[in-house]
Amino acid sequence: MKTSRLLPVSLTALTFILVSCSAATTSISTQTPVPPTPSITPLPEVTVTPTPLPPSGTTDTLSPAATNTPAPGVAGTVDVKIAGFAFDPASVTVKVGTPVRWTNQDSATHSVTSDTGVWDSGSIAKGETYTRVFDTVGTFAYHCGVHPSMKGTITVTS
């Protein structure tokens, strides 16, 4: 009888040992290492502003120191001041081929922009000039793109 009693105890002990070992092996985790996230450095922002080409037969210049070179056969450059948030004179009459030069004497930035959108000086800072040669007879209304209440007219005769 002694043998039969030990058998159930031995089986119980063996079962306990197997279950314990089995539990110990299943609790070991197998984690896959996660690669580090690459850092991304943003590129600097770039702004591109297209410059429209002037229509055929016209010449535009924007410079801090414009030359006073008239077209052949033309007496000279006509100057328009930009001062006190106004074009002075506001209306100018010139012959075909005459350069007209706008000089910004205000502390604010201005522009010289045709009302029809055909030409635009871009920004003209204090002390800068913009020159345009008018090769077509007609009346050309313009304004400041920054301050639309500033208006002027160029009348071109033959």
Residue 15: DSSP 8-state: H
Q: Are 52 and 124 in contact (CB under 8 A)?
A: no
Tokens of 86: 């106004």
Where do the domains of the chain lie?
59-157
pTM above 0.85, yes or no: no
pLDDT at 36: 72
Provide the percentage of residues in the chain whose pLDDT is more than 90.
52
Q: What is the pLDDT of residues 55-93, one digit of tens each?
A: 444 455 444 433 334 445 456 899 999 999 999 999 999
CA distance 103 to 45: 32
Cis peptide before 89 (omega within 30 of 0): yes
Please give the CATH number for the structural domain made up of 59-157. Answer: 2.60.40.420
CA distance 97 to 113: 19
Greater model confidence, 21 or 91: 91
Of the listed ranges 39-48, 95-104, 125-134, the least confidently predicted one is: 39-48
Of the listed ranges 13-27, 29-43, 108-122, the least confidently predicted one is: 13-27
Q: Is 142 helix (H, G, I), strand (E, B) or coil?
A: strand
Residue 134: DSSP 8-state: E
pLDDT band at 45 (very low <50, low <70, confident <90, very high): low
State mean pLDDT over 88-99: 96
